[in-house]
A and B are shown apart, each in its own frame.
Chain A
Amino acid sequence: MSDTTPRVGLFARYAIAFLRYFFGTHALVSGLNYFLHFLPDRIPADPRGHAFVTAMIATGLFDVIKVVEVVVGIGLLTGRFVPLLLLAELPISITICGLALQAPTPRSIISGPRELLLNLLLMVAYGQYYLPLLRSFGAEIGPLWRVPPREWFSTASRSQGAHPVGSVR
């Protein structure tokens, strides 16, 4: 981050860390439990939710989701690739929230929206990483294969906003 990056207060720093650890552990346990079955499985009781989840299991897509959850959990707990993994987890959080609100129980009415809120809150906390995505690069920037891999993470290209390769080569 540059010198203009605002300093994070101690409380906020540890609060964000706490939420990241909580969200990461939750994802890791949920993902691992699907393969190892050390806790009771949580298939929605609501017929629509049940049908949705059983169809996902039958098609094998649930396996993919649970692998993503394991990767997200490991990443959030170790602090690696956090912005990318939060983005990968977002569709899963939206689905969990939607399923939980289909037939709300006293627990799911909190746990569903909480999942989505935590995901969004952490994305806001790491929001500076997403800001470049919100710029309108238009046609200025070239494709990634035109950029030598050693320059992908160079500070110069990041601070300019667009990679120099875009308009010249």
Chain B
Amino acid sequence: MKILDNLFSRYDQFALAVAAVLVVIRILRDRSRRPR
């Protein structure tokens, strides 16, 4: 975690988390829209 803290600021960690959540939401949304 120390290495992670050195490489990624709070901004970065927050942005990574938000990006990951938004991509998961987008994947789930795309999957639900895809015709079966």
Contacts and interface: CB of A to CB of B under 8 A. Distances in A.
Chains A and B come from one and the same complex: yes
Interface string A4-34: 0000000000100111011101100110010
Contacts of B7: 106-107, 110
A39 interface: yes
Q: Is the interface of A mostly helix, strand, loop or mixed?
A: helix
A134 to B, nearest CB: 30
Contacts of B20: 18
B12 A26 contact: yes
Q: Is the interface of B mostly helix, strand, loop or mixed?
A: helix
B6 interface: yes
B15 A107 contact: no
Contacts of A21: 15, 18-19, 22-23
Nearest to B10: A39
Given A14-B26, A17-B22, A17-B26, A22 B9 contact: no
Interface of B: 6-12, 14-16, 18-20, 22-23, 26-27
